[in-house]
């Protein structure tokens, strides 16, 4: 009977040690994952800042004043078209289909913001 009691005691101690080791391993994994998440959040934050900076730089480079300055700097001779050189084309919206099912009369433009500027030559 003593062998059975010693065996059970060793088995219970082994199980407790195994559970303890599993607990410590899981806590270690949680700690590592927390560090990895922090690193990725830092990298993500840095990329967001870089994206915002590049968007601002792009907006600056696309501004009409900057474009004119670059054209003058490189002596390209490009200027913005005069208002008389611009032809406005109206793009019909969804209401075009409902207003003119089969008629051939021209419809009024949907709104002034749906225009496209085309320069005449």
User: How would you write the pLDDT of the chain (121 residues) with one tens digit per residue?
Assistant: 567 888 899 999 999 999 999 999 999 999 999 999 999 999 999 999 999 999 999 999 999 899 989 988 998 888 888 899 999 888 888 777 776 555 555 555 555 555 555 555 4
Q: Which of 112, 106, 110, 108 is nearest to 94 (CA)?
A: 110
| Domain presence at residue 7 | yes
In a domain, residue 70? The reply is no
Q: Which residues contact 118 (CB under 8 A, 6 or more apart)?
A: 86, 87, 88, 89
H-only helix segments in 63-118: 64-73, 95-99
* pTM higher than the cut 0.75: no
Is 75 among the domain residues?
no
Query: Does one domain contain both 55 and 89?
Result: no
CA distance 29 to 27: 5
Within this chain, do residues 48 and 102 fall inside the same structural domain, yes or no? no
Based on the domain organization, do 60 and 85 belong to the same domain?
no
Q: How many domains does the chain have?
A: 2
């Amino acid at each position: 009977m003593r062998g059975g009691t010693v065996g059970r005691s060793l088995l219970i101690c082994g199980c407790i040690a195994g559970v303890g080791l599993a607990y410590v391993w899981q806590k270690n994994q949680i700690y590592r994952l927390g560090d990895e998440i922090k690193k990725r959040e830092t990298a993500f934050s840095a990329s967001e800042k870089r994206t915002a900076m590049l968007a601002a730089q792009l907006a600056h480079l696309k501004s009409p004043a900057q474009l004119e300055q670059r054209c003058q700097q490189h002596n390209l001779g490009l200027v913005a078209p005069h208002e008389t050189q611009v032809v406005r084309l109206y793009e019909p919206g969804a209401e075009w289909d409902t207003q003119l099912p089969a008629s051939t009369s021209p419809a009024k433009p949907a709104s002034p913001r749906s225009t496209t500027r085309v320069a005449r030559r």
